[in-house]
């Protein structure tokens, strides 16, 4: 009994204080993969159901709709190509580094943290697919979070809304820099230590600033939803709503930036 108690205390200390169990964890995650696989069966069945048991007319309609959407997007992307070329030329004129397009890998969600205060996702891509700790994670609408734990087959990501997560952002409109912190609610981030006179308004889009070297520049993070400027306080109280569909995304994108971050 004392032995068991000792083992538990040593493990807790090792993980909490010294972060010493990374390798052991990633090895044991392999054993956890079947659990996720089984836990994911119902939603996969629902997906299959939705994909295979649809009427022909629904499919045709969907197909038509997608074709139109594709046409519109294609048209826009042609324009984008010329704009991008122009942007690169202008940047070259300014002697600043060229913008590089990031590569992405599509991953599927196979689990979410069962604990409501812990905002984590489990993804079906791991070390074998080149996923690394610290890798940014996005969906179609914005930044989701970053990978915190990698095992050979699966990986675990922390959402930007987790109470232990912060991210450097800037206002898209004027470039004001700030830090957006998660507060443990899936629908809000808090922007801390912004002085009451800073030019930041409700509706402003916050994008990643790239400072800190962890996240690439320019991914949408959140939209400012609420500002409270109390003359008695040194800082304004700012709440922003995450752009990404944090509780709805099933397919997510792992971003490979041009140069992987070195170390921590």
Question: Residues interacting with other proteins, by CB under 8 A?
Answer: 1, 4-5, 7-9, 11-12, 14-16, 21, 24-25, 28-29, 31-32, 34-36, 38-40, 42-43, 111-118, 120, 122, 149, 156, 162-164, 184, 186, 247
Residue number, 28 or 202, with CB nearest to other proteins: 28
Residue number, 36 or 219, with CB nearest to other proteins: 36
Closest contact distance (angstroms) between CB of 1 and other proteins is 6
DSSP string over 136-148: EEE-SSSEEEEEE
Cβ-count burial 208-217 (b if 16+ within 10 Å, e if not) = bbbeeebbbe
Closest contact distance (angstroms) between CB of 197 and other proteins is 31
Tokens found for residue 138? 């996005």
Residue number, 40 or 141, with CB nearest to other proteins: 40
Cβ-count burial 20-31 (b if 16+ within 10 Å, e if not) = eeeeeebeebee
Nearest to 98 by CA among 263, 264, 261, 259: 259
Closest contact distance (angstroms) between CB of 158 and other proteins is 9
What distance lies between CA 162 and its chain's CA centroid?
11
Closest contact distance (angstroms) between CB of 160 and other proteins is 15
Residue number, 118 or 229, with CB nearest to other proteins: 118
């Amino acid at each position: 009994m004392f032995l068991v108690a000792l083992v538990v205390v040593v493990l807790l200390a090792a993980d909490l204080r010294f972060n010493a169990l990374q390798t052991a964890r990633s090895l044991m995650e392999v054993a956890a993969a079947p659990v996720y696989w089984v836990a994911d069966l119902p939603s996969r069945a629902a997906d299959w159901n939705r994909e295979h048991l649809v009427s022909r007319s629904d499919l045709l309609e969907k197909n038509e709709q997608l074709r139109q959407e594709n046409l519109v997007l294609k048209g826009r992307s042609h324009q984008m190509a010329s704009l991008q070329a122009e942007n690169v030329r202008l940047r070259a004129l300014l002697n600043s580094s060229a913008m590089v397009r990031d590569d992405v890998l599509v991953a599927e969600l196979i689990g979410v943290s069962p604990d409501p205060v812990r905002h984590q996702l489990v993804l079906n891509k791991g070390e074998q697919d080149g996923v690394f700790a610290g890798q940014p994670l996005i969906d179609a609408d914005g930044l989701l979070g970053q990978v915190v734990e990698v095992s050979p087959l699966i990986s675990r990501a922390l959402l930007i809304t987790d109470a232990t997560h912060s991210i450097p952002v800037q206002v898209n409109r004027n470039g004001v820099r700030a830090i957006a912190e998660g507060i443990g609610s899936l629908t809000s981030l808090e922007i801390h230590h912004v002085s009451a006179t800073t030019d930041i308004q409700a509706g402003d889009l916050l994008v990643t600033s790239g400072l800190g070297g962890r996240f690439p520049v320019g991914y949408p993070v959140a939209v400012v939803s609420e500002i409270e400027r109390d003359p008695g306080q040194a800082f304004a109280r700012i709440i922003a709503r995450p752009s990404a569909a944090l509780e709805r995304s099933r397919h997510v994108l792992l971003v490979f930036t041009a140069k992987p971050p070195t170390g921590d």
